[in-house]
Amino acid sequence: MSDMVKKLRERRAQVWEQMKGIADRSTEENRNLTAEEQGQWDVMSEELDKLDERIKAALDTEQRAKDADAAFDRLHGGKGSGPGDGGQGGGQRAGAPAEGGDAELRSWMRGESRSRFFDVRPKGRIDWRSLQQRALTVGAATGGGDTVPTTFYDRLVQHLIQNSAIMQSGATILNTDGGETIQVPKTTAHSSASIVTEGQPIGESDPAFGQVELNAFKYGALIQVSRELLDDSGVDLEGYLAMQAGRALGNAFGAHAITGTGSSQPRGVVTDATVGVTGGTGVGGAFTSDNIIDLFFSVIAPYRKSPAAIWMMADSSIAAVRKLKDTTGQYIWQPGLQAGVPDTILGKPVLTEPNVAAVATGAKSVVFGDMSQYFVRLAGGVRFERSDDFAFNTDLVTFRALMRADGALVDLTGAVKTYQGAGS
């Protein structure tokens, strides 16, 4: 991690301490923030968000520099193990992926291969946890980022994860070769026990199960590249294609994974989750620290203690949580001050997810629970198709990226809960 990133993190910690000072003074004097203090708070909160963006941008830039160095090492016969080493798939003939690495992919991108498409599939088992860790700590070797294989498929999925909070959250990933419908059991009620007197029969209490179908909805994105860029051998084309496709597919699937209806699209976690806490009336859907604490404890202990238990909310909701304290006067939101350590609420990681509703009357604006109970199904890999004709008049080469996926919450007993603003 560079000195610049360290300084940005130090500044972030300083800003947070200044914000706490403003809030603490008003609490000690048993009053609301003055107009001047509120203005200072808002400016600092905005600076905190901008520092987050700068830190992420700096880490991304550092990672791209490492990737470029590795690519040049390969071009000059060096020993660099840059991204894309050990790539998969190929287009030797229509309908059949072939073995090969970056050279084959680059050849296909330039149109030197006769095949129209290029299938990119994982080699063997995918280490989703490592990819999620890498997505959260891009450029931070100390956070484990450099220990993850950086094949083309891995990089594509990494960008997909970066743009979908549900993919960062520890959701269970099912990767299948085909796209046929699969049936996954879902739990709707658990068994219960009771005291049994001597000689009396034990009452029957069976768990209740249902089934959820996981299909393979097709997501597609068009990516256009200039002929000059394709012909420049010094450009990291693989990284560019992985980034553009990963971001586009991640944004599209990520939105449905949060609020999808399940009708011709995945079922979102907010759609399937139960309401754990309803806010008070007359406050426009706003939540209090008691609401957040109650939501935390509305998820039963085994689920809220799970490593996959996380919070998800929009930026505006996170800004509101920063002001909240528990009964002991401690802020329930705490910033992550080290690389790879996320911000937390009541000790659990919080992820920004713009597809979760903002605070509003009747809106489900906070999500908390064990996200491993949300199943994501990915059917095969990602198919790229190439066309020189689509944008012939502008000399652009068009790539089409296709991915098939679905998702649903499989435990409806309360593994994931939401906060909902009152209806009025």
pLDDT band at 283; cut points 50, 70, 90:
very high
SS3 311: strand
Q: What is the pLDDT of residues 178-205, one digit of tens each?
A: 888 888 877 655 555 656 667 677 666 5
pLDDT tens digits for range 228-264: 888 776 667 778 888 888 899 999 999 999 999 999 9
Mean pLDDT value across the chain: 80
At 53 the pLDDT is 83
Q: Hey, which of 102-106, 115-119, 289-293 has the most confident mean pLDDT?
A: 289-293
pLDDT band at 285 (very low <50, low <70, confident <90, very high): very high
Residues 241, 106: contact at Cβ < 8 Å? no
What's at 265, amino acid-wise? Q
Structure-token pair, residue 127: 């280490």
- Phi/psi class of residue 136: alpha, beta or left (left: φ > 0; alpha: ψ in -120 to 50)? alpha
Q: Considering only CA atoms, which of 132, 157, 130, 145 is closest in space to residue 1?
A: 145
**pLDDT reported for residue 116:** 73
pLDDT tens string 372-417: 999 999 988 888 888 888 999 999 989 999 999 999 998 888 899 9
pLDDT confidence bin for 68, thresholds 50/70/90: low
The helix (run of H) or strand (run of E) holding residue 387 is strand 374-391
| Torsion angle, alpha carbons of 314, 365, 13, 2, to 10 | -30
User: How does pLDDT run across 107-161, given as a tens digit for each residue?
Assistant: 777 776 767 777 776 655 555 455 555 555 443 333 333 334 457 777 787 778 8
How far is Cα of residue 207 from the mean position of the Cα atoms in its chain? 32
Confidence of residue 270 (pLDDT cuts 50, 70, 90): very high
Pairing of strands 344-345, 348-352: antiparallel
> Please, is 272 exposed, middle or buried when counting C-beta atoms within 10 Å of its C-beta (0-12, 13-18, 19+)?
buried
Q: Would you say residue 33 has pLDDT above 70?
A: yes
For the chain, counts of helices (H) and of strands (E): 12, 14
Residue 406: predicted pLDDT: 95
Q: Does residue 92 have a pLDDT over 50?
A: no
Evaluate the CA torsion angle 278, 357, 335, 417 in order and state its sign. positive
Q: Write out the DSSP string of 273-286.
A: SEEEEE--TTSTT-
Residue 320's closest CA among 349, 354, 352, 287?
287
- Model confidence over 316-337: pLDDT tens digits? 999 999 999 988 889 999 988 6
| CA–CA distance, 391 with 225 (Å, rounded to integer) | 10
Q: In what order do the strands lie in the sheet with 344-345?
A: 274-278, 416-420, 364-370, 309-313, 348-352, 344-345, 333-334
Query: pLDDT above 70 covers what percent of the chain?
Result: 76
CB 34 within 8 A of CB 41: no
Residue 95 is predicted with a pLDDT of 35
Instruction: Please identify which residue in the block is written with the tokens 């806490």.
Output: 277
* Cα–Cα distance measured from residue 311 to residue 336, given in angstroms and rounded to the nearest whole number: 14
Residue 286 token pair: 């706003």
What residues form DSSP beta bridges with 51?
none
Give the pLDDT score at 5.
82
CA–CA dist 340, 141 (Å, integer): 9
Pairing mode, strands 416-420 and 274-278: parallel
Of 237, 214, 239, nearest to 227 by C-alpha is: 237
Determine how many CB atoms are found less than 10 A away from the CB of residue 112: 9
Domain boundary assignment for the chain:
1-82, 85-181+211-267+378-407
CA distance 34 to 131: 45
Q: Are 314 and 365 in contact (CB under 8 A)?
A: yes
More confident residue, 275 or 165: 275
pLDDT in the model for residue 383: 87
| Alpha carbon separation from 77 to 70, 74, 235 (Å, rounded) | 10, 5, 16
How many residues are recorded in the chain? 424
pTM of the full predicted structure? 0.75
What is the enclosing helix (H) or strand (E) of 26?
helix 3-28
